[in-house]
Structures are given as structure tokens and as C-alpha cells.
Chain A
Amino acid sequence: MEIIESKPKETILLLGNEAITRGALEAGVDIATTYPGTPSSEIADTFSAIAKYLKKKGEKPSFYFEYSTNEKVALEVAAAASLSGLRALTCMKHVGLNVASDAFMTYLYVGCRGGHVIVSADDPYCHSSQNEQDNRYFAIFASAPMLEPTTPEEAKEMTRLGFEISEELQSPILLRTVTRLNHARGAVVLKKPVKPRGKGHFEKSPMLVTTPAVARARHPELLKMMERAEKISEKSPFNEIINVGRPDDWGIVTSGVSFNYVREIVDDLNLDVRILKLGMTHPLPRKMCEKFVKSCKNIVIVEELEPILENQFKEMIYDLGTNVKLYGKSTGRFSRLYEYNLDIVTEALSKIFKVKNPISKPVKPKIKIPGRPPSLCPGCPHRATYYAVKKASPKGTVYPTDIGCYTLGKEPPLEMADLLLCMGSNAGTACGLAASTDHTVISFMGDSTFFHSGIPPIINAVHHSHDVVITILDNRTTAMTGHQPHPGNDFDGMGRPARRIKVEDVVKGCGVEHIEITDPNNIEETTEAFKRAIGFKGPSVIVSKAPCILLENRAKRKAGEKIPVYTIDQEKCKKCKICIGKFGCPAFYYAKDDSIHIDEQQCNGCGNCVLVCPFDAISKKKEMK
């Protein structure tokens, strides 16, 4: 395993997320916690893989790692470890910090003891997210020192040194990353890992109990901490001025991955300019920035999403009373939307610097290419559940959904997703729909989402007798983010045996009176189960239980078993198109003569098409794959 077995000073290619894990290991991290979420997942998955690899070798990992039930729990677990003197890392996707924010906001008042790096993986362009919120606001909101890496190498170094900064300030710090860093690979030079501390000790202090009196006493301390943080920022090697060519009075201020675009384009456009590259972006090195402002007559701010640097520089220019012209989002040169790239930044900079844009306008293909969006895999048990629900539910039924693979049920022909806000919102919004409309309401969430934030709204439904059907699609894994385990599994993220918590036991404990467990691969039974649940007055829960087909097939292959493949008897097929047009398995396709076939490469052998075909035209092939 290269990431732990390579020697110090070696250069290896690492994913931005792996580099963060490596940085934490080099800093002697004792504990890492997370709830998985793209684009952050591989940070935690790397800890998990290392722990399992060492376990197999009969060695003990130097850290404790867990996939916590949600981001708030993950942060609380790590915060307590840090307050016991250990070094802790917590990672999550940007919207995960919303979940953790209740703990996060007051944690900054309390402060930490062992260094604690909290990673927020933001997702400009919403590559795999429900919004593109800019979590740099969280650093400002909570008064959290913040680092923003540019490359995998810098991500590793910022993580490593982030623990030092955190310990010096006795405050958790935010490492704010974006997809283009998390999922970029670059060369990283390894350093020797420091030995972790191992066991912590919790020193009691009345200041750790945030009663109003304590909170009032802690708030001024928080502001003082930020003053000390500013001094660190002034001296930080992550904040630097880079002179390109022979700069006169033009400057560019940038941070994070935007620096990559700026640095390259400045060369391409032959610009003479000084670049203020900011790595510690909260608090800003005020003196350094002011000096930079004074050395310029024109300043361009290049940052993705919100005008956070821009507004702070505007404030600075106003305070200094200087006559500097500022180019940024407010002057219409840069967008607050989506992810930047070379095309976007070159276009803006060439206009501002009045030089020719060397990049040709992108020309789309003349021929129309069919879309290739992600879809529920062939053999996915969610498809079978959706098909059964559709058969059972009356016209006008509303289907609130949630975050996971099953969100893909939104696409035709299933179209089984009507409303989605965030993790766990399916059951909460179901309650609201039941309270305010006459629609039949059937909501969907996965098992991992159930443990994450799906339980409180079920209790709400029971307590207020909302007439809803809440479905838990239990495929025994967190599939969408890469098959991480959750409390419904009998093993944990370190590969150790763990106590399995059954979804139906929890639901029963919540007081739900009508609970049914069904196997979605038995479509008929599942349809009947939903009919009964719809007929039940009051909240009912259906646990639709079948393993993720990808995991099931992986296990079969490992055990040397073959995967069945299905085929269509062209003589029996009446081209009713139910398999394609209603069930929508992506392994089915039309040949040139409009006959329907199954792509053997794609078929995962679930056999549910046999159940949906009304003419018995589909059967298992003799040869398996």
C-alpha cells in the first residue's frame, strides 16, 4: 500500500483527498471521523482502507477511525477526542457542515486542545450535490481559522501544518477544499509521520460547559483567538506574493484552485502582474493585503462562487482611502455561479487586461449525441421497489425522496421523485404534504440516510398521526458514495465486527404501528405490501430489503459463483415494451429492426425482468458470466 509504505522524501501521485489523509498521518493524527459524501469520501475511505489493510497483516493502525452516523456526530466524537488532548480530523462534504453546524458554531467558543482539522469539501457546479454553497462563509460565521489548498501537495502540507496551527490557537480549523482539488491527482513529496499520542486524558473545566455565563465569557476569547490567528496568517508560508514579468501597478488576488488558472493564464497572456496567492484565507493577513493594495492601482479578484475575498478587499480599500480600481464579481467580470476553468478565467482576464483571448470559442458537435446521465444500475433493487410502488399507488400520489442512489429514480420511465431538500427530508416533507393536502404520500430514503437523519421525522409522523407511507430502501450499504458501512452492518469502517442495528427495530421503537418488511425482488408481494400500507390510516413504514446488486455480485464472484444472464425469446416477445418503457432497466435496448434485446455485458442477473414481462418471453440463459 503505497500511501503508507513509501519512504519519506519519495514522490508519489496522490488524489487530493488521499493527500489530506497522508498529511494527517504525517501529523500523527489519533482519530478521524466522517459521514461519507462526495467529493470528500476518499479522505475517510483511505483511513478505512489503511485500517483494514493493517488488520489483514495483523498490525494495529496508529489511529482510530469511524464512519459516524452523521456529520454532527462525527464532529462531536472528534471534538471530545481533541478536548482530551488528541489530534483529530473530521471530514465531510459542504452540506455535511450544515448538519454539523450546531456543534461547529459553539465548538469554536469552547476551543480545542489537540489539533483538530475539519475538512469541508465544497462542490462548485454541484457535480454531485444538491447545492453549491460556499462554506468559506462558515469560517467567517463561526470565527474559524481557514486554509484553502491549491494542489494535492499543498493539501497535504496544509493538513499537516493545520494541526500545528490548531494547537497553537487552541481552536479547530477549517480546511476548505473544492471538487477540483479533492478529485485531482498530483505529485506529493512525503514526509516522515510523527508518532500519534495514543490515549488522551480529559481535564475537567467549567469553561467546557457552555451555559450562558460561560458562552458570554468565551465569546471575547474567540475574538482574541482570531487576533492571534491573524498574526499567524501574516507569517504563513501559504500566503505569498508572486511577481510575474515586470509588474507595475496591476495585481491579482486569488486563492485555492483559482490560483492554478490565474498562474497559467498570466503566462499565456504575457501579463506583467503581481499575484497575491492566499492560502490562509481566514483571517486574512490584513497587513500583507494592505501592503499589496497600496502597491497596486488595479486589482483583479479571482475566486469561485461568492465574492468573499472581494468584499473584504473592498472594505480594505475603503478603510485605506486609496484610489484602487477593483475588478471582480461586482464589476460583472466574474460569475458567482459554478466552477471556473481556463476558458472562463482567460475570457475575463483578457477583457480586463485588454489583450487577445487565445482560446477559441468551444464548438459543440454538430451531430446530436444522446445524453448519458447516471442511472440506477441494471439489477438495482430500488428499481423493483419503485415499480411495485407505482403499481400500488393511486393517481396523484406524491413521492418525496432523499439523498442516495435512489434519487436517480427521478428519471423516466420510473419518475419516482417529486421533492428533495437534504438528507432526511423525505419523511419530514411527507408529514407536511399529509398535513396540508389530500394527496397520497409515499416517501423514500435509504438505510444510511435513515440512520443519518431519517429517524426524527418518523417520530414526528407517529406523534402527530400523519397519514404517510415512509419507505426505507435497505440495501445494507451507503452505495452512492462508494459502499461505506453504516450502523445496519455487522462490521465497521476499520473492518472490525460491529453491533448491527436493524432498521425495523428502530422503527418499531419509534411507535410505528404498521410496519412491513418486504423483498423488492418479489415484485408482487411488494406491491401488495404497499397497497396495505396505503390503506392503513396513519403513519406506516415499509422496509424494502435487498442488498445492492453490485455488492452482491462482487461477493458472488469472490466466492467463485457465476452471475446469471437473461435473454429474450424473440418469438414470444410481443413488443409491449413494459421491460423498457415501464421498468426501465438500462440493460435493455432496441436493435435496428426495433426488436428488444438484453445487453449481456450490462445485465447483472437480478431476473426481475422475468417478473415484469407479461408474455413469459424472458428467461435465464444456460451459460452464466
Chain B
Amino acid sequence: MSDKISIVLTGVGGQGVITAANILGKAAVNAKVNVYVSEVHGMAQRGGSVSCTVRMGNIFGPLVASGTADAIISMEPSEALRYIQYANKETKVVTDINSVIPFTVAVGGEEYPDLDDIFKEINSRSKLYKMDALNIAKESGALITKNIVMLGALAATDVLPFKSEILLKTILDNVPAKYKEINKRAFEGGMKAIKQS
């Protein structure tokens, strides 16, 4: 494992990308790993494309160089492809299969590509893991836990320099008591989906 770990988290405004990046950063602090996170704020919360980066280990800044991500975790398929320049052949790209069609398709006459074409291109440039994260979240008890499903998936990729238990504990420490079970199920559901793929 390299002494630097670079993770790109992407999705659409409202899908919990920033929350996921924040929790991942907190988990690294709990694991006593050097960490730096960068976020997109402001205009991004109005339904725009959102990306965060989380870097750990022997790093000095939060930004990821092209072709150097260890993992890209995406809450939406086209958003995984949008940030594919950060991937190399070894990068683990984990994406939800459920698309969110941007309004530019309805209004601006742009086209949302065929999902199979998206997956084909990602797969040709990296190691693709796709999963129905929305459904796992739904089965866990709340759609909004999709970001936690994705964190579970990340934990199962072996990219993180600390045990998945630390990440799960950080998640549970940061949600209200009554949502702990749902979040635990979501996290474990995400882990299982990767291990079975």
C-alpha cells in the first residue's frame, strides 16, 4: 500500500456527499491517521454536481492529482464518469447504479448516456464495482442512508488504512440514537455488496 491514500467522493447536491467525506475525515482522526478533506459548498447545494476529496497518510494538501485516486465513490453513475480523470487502472470505482437525470437533459436538450456505456468506459479505465445502493438504503430503513451504504462499500475495498469498525463507530457516534440501527444496516449492506461482487 502506498503511503498516500486519495479518495474522491462524488454525487449530486443533496445525496450526502459532504457528510460522507466529513465522517470519513473524522474516522481517520479517530484512527490517528493524518487526514485532509476538501469540500464543495455554496452553489453546489442547489442540485449541482458535488465532489469531495479525502486524503490520508503522507500528504500535505487535500486535492487529488489526475490518475492518482485509490478509490472513487460515487452516489450516481454519470458523476463517477465525470471524475474518471482521477482514476488509473488500479483505482476502485464504486458507484450506485441509480441515475439522477440533470435538468439540462429536459431543458437544454442534452442527453443522459446509456448506463451500460457509462459502466463500460469506467471499467475500461479502472476497476468498477457497481451496486444498487439506493435499494440497500431502502431495505436498511431510510433512503437518505445511501451515503452510508457507499461508505460501507468503501470500507470493503481495503483502500482505507484503518479497520472498518473505526469507520462504523464514527458513523454511529455522529447520528442520533434512533437512527443508529438503520445506519448500521446500511453500512453493513454496503460492505456485503462489495464482498459479494
Contact = CB atoms under 8 A, between A and B. Distances in A.
Contacts of A374: 13, 43-48
A361 B82 CA distance: 16
Contacts of B34: 187
Contacts of A346: 65
Nearest to A341: B63
A408 B105 CA distance: 17
Contacts of B46: 374-377, 405, 408
A413 B102 contact: no
A373 B66 contact: no
A183 B29 contact: no
Nearest to B101: A589
Contacts of B41: 38-39, 41-42, 128, 183
Interface residues of A, number: 62
A297 B173 CA distance: 54
Given A128-B43, A360-B88, A580 B106 contact: yes
A362 B63 CA distance: 14
Interface string B48-78: 1100000000111111111110000000001
B66 A480 contact: no
B111 A342 contact: no
Nearest to B64: A342
Interface centre among B13, B34, B63, B81 (most CB of A within 10 A): B63
Contacts of A341: 63, 65
Nearest to A360: B67
A342 B35 contact: no
Interface string A241-263: 00000000000000001011101
Interface secondary structure of B, over-half rule: mixed
Given A12-B29, A257-B61, A341-B63, A370 B107 contact: no
Interface string A546-574: 00000000000000000000000000000
A422 B121 CA distance: 42
Nearest to B59: A264
A372 B12 contact: yes
Contact of A359 (B67, B107, B112): B67
Nearest to A585: B103
Given A12-B29, A581-B107, A342 B47 contact: no
B38 interface: yes
A366 interface: yes
B46 to A, nearest CB: 4
Interface in A451-483: 480-481
B81 A590 contact: no
Contact of B65 (A263, A343, A412): A343
A370 B104 contact: yes
A330 interface: no
Contacts of B81: 365, 367, 369
A371 interface: yes
Interface residues of B, number: 58
Nearest to A342: B65
A13 interface: yes
Interface centre among B35, B40, B102 (most CB of A within 10 A): B102
A365 B121 contact: yes
Interface string B80-119: 0110110010000000000001111111101111000110
A264 B64 CA distance: 11
B185 to A, nearest CB: 21
Contact of A180 (B58, B62, B79): B62
Contact of B85 (A184, A362, A373, A376): A362
A364 B86 CA distance: 10
Given A186-B35, A366-B121, A584 B103 contact: yes
Contacts of A187: 29, 34-35
A586 to B, nearest CB: 4
B29 A13 contact: yes
B47 A372 contact: yes
A186 B188 CA distance: 27
A263 B108 CA distance: 43
A491 B102 CA distance: 36
Interface string A134-174: 00000000000000000100000000000000000000000
A346 B47 CA distance: 33
B42 interface: yes
Contact of A186 (B13, B37, B48, B78): B37
Contacts of B35: 13, 185-187
Contacts of B67: 359-360, 362
B47 A375 contact: yes
B26 to A, nearest CB: 5
A452 to B, nearest CB: 17
Given A13-B25, A365-B121, A370-B110, A184 B105 contact: no
B121 A367 contact: yes
Contacts of A185: 21-22, 25, 35-39, 62
B132 to A, nearest CB: 16
Interface in A498-538: none
10 smallest A-B Cβ distances: which pairs? Answer: A260-B61, A128-B42, A374-B46, A38-B42, A586-B103, A342-B65, A370-B110, A185-B37, A362-B66, A362-B85
28 contacts: A38-B43, A39-B42, A151-B36, A180-B61, A184-B38, A185-B35, A185-B36, A185-B38, A187-B29, A342-B64, A342-B65, A359-B67, A360-B66, A363-B84, A363-B85, A366-B121, A367-B118, A370-B111, A372-B104, A373-B48, A373-B104, A374-B44, A375-B46, A376-B46, A580-B107, A586-B106, A589-B103, A589-B106
Interface of A: 11-13, 15, 38-39, 41-42, 127-128, 151, 180, 183-187, 257, 259-261, 263-264, 267, 341-343, 346, 359-377, 405, 408, 411-413, 480-481, 580-581, 584, 586, 588-590, 599
Given A183-B39, A370-B110, 13 more contacts: A185-B37, A186-B62, A261-B60, A263-B60, A264-B59, A346-B65, A367-B118, A369-B78, A370-B78, A374-B47, A405-B46, A586-B103, A586-B106
Interface of B: 12-13, 21-22, 25-26, 28-29, 34-49, 58-68, 78-79, 81-82, 84-85, 88, 101-108, 110-113, 117-118, 121, 125
